[in-house]
Structure 1
Amino acid sequence: MTSDDEGEVMGTPGAATMVLEAAGLVKHYGSVQALRGANFQAEAGEVVALIGDNGAGKSTLVKCLSGAEQPDGGTILLDGRPVLLPTPTAARKLGVETVYQDLAVAPDLDPAANLFLGRELLRRGLAGKLGMLDRPAMRSQAIDHFRRLGVTLQNADVPIGSLSGGQRQSVAVARAVMWASKVVFMDEPTAALGVVQRERVLDVIRRVRDQGIAVVLISHNMPEVLAVADRIEVLRLGRRVARFTAAEVTLEQLVGAMTGALTPEETT
């Protein structure tokens, strides 16, 4: 392993298309400095895990990269070009979607309606001008989208609130993927799920990656990170302190980078 001139612990770099980058992001909340020149990179067609202890800056970094917060300094690049993300809506228009831990689904609506929530299809002609929804078209597209992602639902016509936790999470992931063209952030997507449900969600994440979309996984579950991630980036005290190739790193190295026990000087 080597270290770069920023003092980051680095694994073997991959040769892929960089779709999203953060360069030197700074964020203050009053006297608290949440990000201290944080860097981050996500490549097309990979799962990159973002890990760190509580207070490391993970949530703040994701909020800045998804338009929910504005950094006080630094640069965000999408496909190598500097971008401004003033709102989550602006980020979504650029192909960046987020799956939050609380899912943010409408429990009284069916899966198809959730997929098109806020982006509903209207019927053609006068009916569409009057605001009538094209429910058959939305249902047909939703079922096809679920099939491509390997999402199996017991019933596609019932309120999503009646589905299992794993199925609700799969619908939330599928909704983000349906509209994302660049990056999908996933915040603890398997939290509170059982073993079987967790594996189904992880399989959906792999399928998303295989479609050429960058998946950013925020998780405290290290075995899960090692099972699904291609790369791992570690934040500590508001800065990226380490980058690893998942296949070449151990759990002990990840914990060491998160806690500060592993330093660049010790790995050169």
Structure 2
Amino acid sequence: MADEKSPAVHHDEDPLGQTYHRGPVIMRGPMIPEKTTTTNLLEPESDTDWLHMDPWRVLRIQAEFVDGFGALAELGPAVTVFGSARTSRTDPMYRAARHVGRKLAEQGVAVITGGGPGIMEAANCGAAKAGGKSVGLGIELPHEQGINKWVNLGITFRYFFVRKTMFVKYSSGAIIFPGGFGTLDEAFELLTLVQTHKVARTPVVLFGTEYWQGLMDWLEGTVREAGNISPLDPELVVMTDDEDEAVRVALSELCR
């Protein structure tokens, strides 16, 4: 058994004596443990601190990836809609996001959101009422309100980076409505991947010109003129107030 102590072979050229193999790791002399991995596995546990240690955390992260891939692998074409959780149902942006969700569903395209209230709820509502696939990828937060009632395929993640991977992996485009730090984080993450060609061509729509104009002026002016970014591809990054145009651009790579 590879985990047990290998038979001692004594040679004059082995000054540290016996070699112990633990998988790919070798140990000699004082580094050889008193107990084998199998012994440790079968011993009763009196201390549960291991539940909060990094090796166990890695397994939880792995499990989240497996759950996400399993849930979304057969989803089909999809577009992600980002936006604020604080947008009220009386806000024009809520109505616009609901219209966008409906139009995407009518094209046979799944709508993926963060699963929360506000813009996310609106897009999920539009998709669900149109009989489409309405996906919510939630996140475990102290004051999170949970997955909204219009999601017909939902999963809640512990880790933001796993959730972001799912947004990017299963979407062919993104429509970004006005939002705060979370929305900005998702927008810049996606723009970074697009600009560095880490993902296939993914159109990004910034919906709401009045809201996004200042940011775009700063990026195309101050940031680009300082030589810190390349020009944004006008075919991939589009700012609009037109819901139908937003849908058309977001679907443009699917129609190529």
Specify if TM > 0.5: no
Q: Which has the higher contact order (CA 8 A, sep 6+)?
A: 1
TM-score (norm 2): 0.29
> Which one has the bigger strand percentage?
1
The structure whose Rg is larger is 2
Higher helix share: 2
